[in-house]
Structures are given as C-alpha cells and as structure tokens.
Amino acid sequence: MNCLLCDRRMAMQVSWRTMFCRDIGKVICARCEQGFSRITGPVCPVCGISSANLCPECRMWERTKYAGLISGGKSLFMYNEAMQRYLHQYKFLKDEALAAVFAPVLHDALKGRFIVPVPMNEERERERTFPQVERMLDAARLPYLQTLVKEGGIQGKKTRQERLASPLLFKWNGAEVPKRVTIADDLYTTGTTLRHAAKVLRQAGAEEILVFTLIRG
C-alpha cells in the first residue's frame, strides 16, 4: 500500500497478530510519522502542554466558574509544521481517509474509556462534510457516546476574549452519562470548548471528567 500522506510505497508487515488479532495497521510511512512531534517530559496535568506543573492558562481557568470541572487531561502531539499540513488536508481539504492516520495511537490511548467526542455545529459539519473527531474514533475502533449537541457559533471565528466570555456552547441531549467520562477533541487551543463541554456533562451527572486531545496548540 502507499502512504496516505506522501504516496510513497510502504512495505507490508504481516504478522500473526495482524492476521488473527485484527490489530490496527499504520497507513503512513515511517518518514511521515517522524515528522509529527510527540509531547514528552513534564506536562500540565490538565491540558498536556510542556510545564513543570499546572500551566498559567489552566491556573487562570481555576479562578473562574469552571474551576474543578476537569480532573485531568492529556495531549499527544505538538502543533508543528507537519501537523499543520495534516490538519489542513484532513479538515479543510476534506480528505476523510486521513482519519486513519493516528488510529493506532488513539486506540492505545483511549481504549476502555467512556468517550464523549466534542460535536460540531450544523454549519461547520455542512462545511467540512463529515464530523472529524468521530471519524478518527471510528478509524481507531473506539466506541463513543453522543451526549452533547453543539449550540454556539464557530469558535474559530471568535477572538480569545470572545471565547472566554461565551455562553455555554453545548447542551445535553438527554442520553445517559457515565460517572467517569473522557471528552475527546482533535486540537486544544484556549481550553474553552472542553470546559464548556465538561460543565454540561457535570450537570448531566458525570462525577469525574478527563479530557483528551490529539494535538496541543
């Protein structure tokens, strides 16, 4: 098969596990994989950015009405040039096949959790043609719970201060919410979206809320 990112021919690696255990195979070559930068070392225990302890931005959130909502969190990759190119092709050029690029690492990071993906609003989903976070989870063979409905406008078109001052961006759709959930999104920027989602899930009965993002911006 060919790499989904650079189209180079990839050597097929067949093992007893891939044949009988249905392991999730890689769809990009080693060269492209090396372009993505994993987050390592000490990190903020909530947002995953490199930090010796709770980062300044998360400390700021703990002085607001959203204090204490998130019990912990993790991000896997830095937002570097390779990741920027990937997101452009996946999200803006609407290359749905690229949902599988990070499937193996997502499966390893999230298996066994009750996952609530951050939903898109109807306008954005029509624009992008498919829900990107859900497609990544599908590719990683991870079940998820659809308990949130997006109500607010498109956050990418708001300034930082407008995001921080926004009313709640989500509403609960009435589906059962487990006591311990993990909110999953593709990119962490200001943390507004995740905290708005966490507030709604807490009001719907969640007692411990973790957050997970593929990328820390």
Q: Where is pLDDT greater, at 201 or 1?
A: 201
- Owner of token pair 């406008």: 153
Question: pLDDT tens, 176-186?
Answer: 999 999 999 99
Bridge-based pairing of strands 170-172 and 72-78 is: unpaired
Model pLDDT, residue 122: 74
Going along the chain from its start, the domains and CATH numbers come out as 1-35 (no CATH), 36-216 (3.40.50)
Task: Name the DSSP letter for residue 92.
Answer: I
Q: Where are the alpha helices (DSSP H) in the chain?
A: 16-20, 30-35, 56-61, 81-87, 103-110, 122-128, 132-139, 160-164, 192-203
pLDDT at 27: 95
Neighbour-count burial for 6-25, b at 16+ CB within 10 Å, e otherwise: eeeebeeeeeeeeeeeeebe
pLDDT of 18: 47
Tokens of 46: 């909530």
What's the CA gap between 126 and 130, in Å, rounded?
7
CA distance 51 to 34: 23
Per-residue pLDDT reduced to its tens digit, 63-99: 999 999 999 999 999 999 999 999 999 999 999 999 9
